Structure 1
Amino acid sequence: MKTQTTPLDDAPEVLRTVKGILIETVSQVLGRTPQFNEMLCIGNYPNMSMGWHQDGERGVGPVVSSMSFGGEAVMKFCMHKKYLVGRGGKGGGYAYDTILPGCLEEEAKRALMAKLVSGEYNEKQYREQFKALMNSIKVPSNTKKPILEFPLPGTGALMIQFGPSLNKRYEHMVENKGIARLVLTCRTLE
């Protein structure tokens, strides 16, 4: 893929204008002003899709915001496989204290957590029961089951992703519907 990088201060005026609109909108919606220092410009041909991916590389801030121009699209989110099955702890181990909505055996994990909180289980008992539950889970071959799906209505569609772990724990994809589409995405890289 051929890419070109230009400092934001030297970017064409239209890109700086979109960045300003995204900053203003995010400020109004979240009540905090993002310090965007990167803009990605991505063009998609008609009916082209961007497959499942994360924008969670090291140093990406908690806010990612995009504006679309052109055709309509649908954005979908699914839980990253390791969080779906309950991994994601230190060193890839079990995440005993993080039970995400939509993960496999969520109700059973929450029941175990309730026993820990109530004092019925101590930490050792809880971890043993959690491991036993995890070992009994059959992981489906297709873990890319959307848990959130929403339309991006075309030119002027604005999307805000917010949360320090959103792009760590979840993946997303975009399916274009019809005509070509240009997406300008602002983020903060530290």
Structure 2
Amino acid sequence: MTLEDLVESKWLNITSANDLLAATSRRDKRVVAIKDASLGLSVLPIPAIADSTANRYVGVRINLSAEDTIFVLAPTNYEIYRKGGTRDIFNAMWAEVQSGSIPLTRKPAKQDRKKKIGLKTAQFNATYGVPYSIARAAYASGEAIELETAPQVLEDLIANFVPVVEAATGQKTSFNSNLLLGYYPKMHMGYHQDNEPHIKGNIIASVSLGASAIMSFAEPKEHASDRSSKAAFSYPLAGTGGGMIQMGPGVNVDWWHKSECVGLARFVDTLRGLDESMVEGGGEREEGATEEEAKSGNEAE
């Protein structure tokens, strides 16, 4: 399976931020075109990094408040097809997952109060670096793989995307927690809140490879009674290496988000900088979930 087998053709031909805006104009009723959302939107072409003649990524900046911002990023045609670009990275990752070199599996979850045996996380995942402690899929062991031992393809993905994050935000990053998720048919993530108190800095960045996804954001009061139709805004996230950056102290406190995978297979790598001395506790819970339900639910993207 190649990237072209999973990705809509429109994502393979992005050359400008206007292309990215046009790609959000869909008839799919689940998607509210970000250019029409009643938020402070501004087109943000990401400066060239690897090649002065071509932009690697383009993006749209969504200003939720004076301090809180979401960046929606998409790789250009150049970035997808250059040697070592996102197409090469996806194909290498697909091969590594198929061979078992990347241990993307459902992990044992902590037992709930009813002492159920055999609970596992809903998503296929692998954690490298400092473990991200989350309530909805709390590992029984809390194990994580040392970041230094991550396979080369994951190192390539991180090395490729971090400069883009820093160029978009204008900030240096220090990520030490790396959560890789695998989405397969009928897998999704409901509305949840990454209420993670141990973030160092104010940036969480994720990059997607494979099938596209629809990301939706809502304020708690907007989706409390009807989570399916009260999104403040939604946008498609390109599976060609599309990225999302959440920046600011209120993004994961004042807003909830969900993800719907559109396709057969999608890999999402989320980067965080966590305070290693405070990784126990914290985490997230889906809106309306009990403690027991939370432990058997989805991972946080």
TM over 0.5: yes
Residue in structure 1 matched with residue 226 of structure 2 by the alignment:
142
More relative contact order in 1 or in 2 (CA 8 Å, sep 6+)? Answer: 1
Query: What is the correspondence of 1:1-190 to structure 2 with a 5 Å cutoff?
Result: 1-2=106-107, 5-61=144-200, 62-81=202-221, 141-142=225-226, 145-190=230-275
* Moved beyond 3 Å, runs of 4+: none
Q: Deviations over 1:50-69 (max 9, x none)?
A: 11112222212411111111
TM-score normalised to structure 2 length: 0.42
- Hey, what's the Cα distance between the residues in 2 that align with 1:55 and 1:34? 19
Residue identity opposite 1:75 in structure 2? M
Give the Å deviation of 1:143. 5.6
Give the Å deviation of 1:47. 3.6
Q: Deviations over 1:90-109 (max 9, x none)?
A: xxxxxxxxxxxxxxxxxxxx
CA contact 1:78–1:172 (8 Å) conserved in 2: yes
Distance 1:142 1:155, change over 3 A: same
Distance 1:79 1:16, change over 3 A: same
When Rg is computed on C-alpha atoms for both structures, the one with the higher figure is 1
Give the Å deviation of 1:74. 0.4
Structure with the bigger percentage of strand: 1
- Hey, what's the Cα distance between the residues in 2 that align with 1:186 and 1:75? 17
- Hey, what's the Cα distance between the residues in 2 that align with 1:153 and 1:162? 20
Number of positions where the alignment pairs a residue of Structure 1 with one of Structure 2: 134
Cα RMSD (Å): 2.0
- Hey, what's the Cα distance between the residues in 1 that align with 2:161 and 2:146? 18
Can you give the 5+ residue segments of structure 2 that lack an aligned partner in the other structure? 1-105, 108-125, 127-142, 276-301
Distance 1:153 1:140, change over 3 A: closer
- Hey, what's the Cα distance between the residues in 2 that align with 1:171 and 1:140? 10
Structure with the bigger percentage of helix: 1
TM-score normalised to structure 1 length: 0.64
- Hey, what's the Cα distance between the residues in 1 that align with 2:204 and 2:224? 30
- Hey, what's the Cα distance between the residues in 1 that align with 2:247 and 2:205? 8
Can you give the 5+ residue segments of structure 1 that lack an aligned partner in the other structure? 85-138
Residue identity opposite 1:142 in structure 2? D
